[in-house]
Chain A
């Protein structure tokens, strides 16, 4: 019995991976098809998540786990039929902002209802003000689609399609993406049917119990192995107009762990608030990485991590708070949790990193200061980019690599095909990795402009301008975020800002912080970093004490094309 359950568990994980792959292949938004900002999962008939594809977005983990319960409640089990497809972008019942579309499909096996497939994807535009921080309430952030049927017994709701088309900037793209989401669940359903045929199952109750019980037991074992301690952590970050404090208290209990964000700042006026589902996702992700990394995500492996935040805080923002950029704050939750967890698990927790993805959205239009050429167009272009990750206790941080998010960047060439934008520069930022025995990962430089005849608004979504990543155990901070126009005009880290015809936006994304004292760094690593240009000669001398003679020797080796 146990052998076939082992096989079925593997199979369900491969089913959801296939489901996710189908979404990437059919999606229209670059955020989905190039960057992998999506997730997919399979659920039992009670709405308990049994398996989830590991994709770019830990932020969807708990949110997806909770979402199906809301669909069952809103639609009603008695109203579910084969061929149905349900949809929402509710930030509180989906995955945290209107730009995530969640689609749920009930799965029927030989006419009897056995479970659900769900998937979520981040789309480029949902109307309203456009993707950005500036709204004062969720009503300004775009079209709201309550939990409802997208297809009823195979019939697509054309009224919904017309409303969607009439409210967004890129209607073909959004409608195409909704179809891609429906396709993704259909592929999952087909594979599940094959599995049930093969194993002669009539329902999922046996395999569900097996998965959930084993996951729960394994997770609790991991928690039980931790010292029974409590620890507090806090971190101050930029916010929109005023700095925000994130505070956390962790407590290890016998069979669960609590993570409470009491002491955190209240709801912000602008769109950087975080619905509770999204706070749960990133707090839980941070704890799982450190404590139980290899246990697959499902309802039972998530349950022992009990996450709470006071209602009305920025980490549990109630409707109708604006939430479009919930990720900017949400991505900084793991570093906050790690400030505390380092006290419980010394030597296993990385230093702080860039945290938030360094995203921006460009809204291009024909220039208005002079006659525009006939080929100038309106277009929405979204880019995901990463700063450096924090140094680890035995390894340097990763250069220009997302953490905690795991989405990919879009290729510059693909981005330039999506709209009349020009990426003039996208490369590593020397000296931005915090010095330390282990160096923080480097951030990156980007320079962005537009084709001749275009002007644009750019919606920036950056933190760590005034609050760079803090080093751990003697490590130095990472480089802060910097942003301005190429004529030196200063820009704010968050919010939509105008870029006149011919101007470029110059961005420097933050680096990760160092771990341990720089004086303990292996001199060979310092020389390697200098040869590669990860650090400049000034930093090599000032932070690491490399001699002028050594610096000259490295420069000579580089001139000869020598590599370590």
Chain B
């Protein structure tokens, strides 16, 4: 499934000196569904330890990009390379989702996908346990290594639930948690697999302003305290602008801009993409963004 592509990447790759810094890199990733091109020659460079946000209007191909990175989709063209901390390069193109996860990329889903009938603790333990090696035979016989594995996963799950602030909801059924708590739980579950890169798919969708603030802090803490690089898809511009180190903009499956948040905000192509016309007035864009924020904030307030 996963092959070493060092020899080939040199031929295709960008500037060689930067490569070691890049934890995740794609070249010309193209994904088609029938006649529809969902991703069109997307080049992504993600530095180790950064928070990179991917923004773009609905249908721009953000989630398709996530799915291609995590092995849910296999793009027809291009290369996807992941560079683990301990050196080497792994091609992710067409790898099975669980293999991608084991390499060190964990994800959350846009429409939260928890194991709803299990408790919060069990949800996280399932993820933590994929790193442990206790086979069915040793479990059935109750061998010491099985007990140790159980204890380890339990400790890890407790620690992570504490990290996201769910330590007093360990034994609650995941499906009955509040929306914000479900988000945190999903993040804790993803973290339990000990990832190097965490992919968050619209974590702020449907959260209220307080939860949004907490989320912002959580993403920062994941980045700084755990040293995990974060790839973030988000609609909420304020969150993106405050938390992201760099922003990449997709529209109609193409990368149209990349840079620091303030650079991207000024970029004419971005303005066009969001407005659908070539207005040059940056102030107008700011207004639209502000409006959008206001709307989504009040939407969620109504919803709560």
Q: Do A and B come from one complex?
A: no
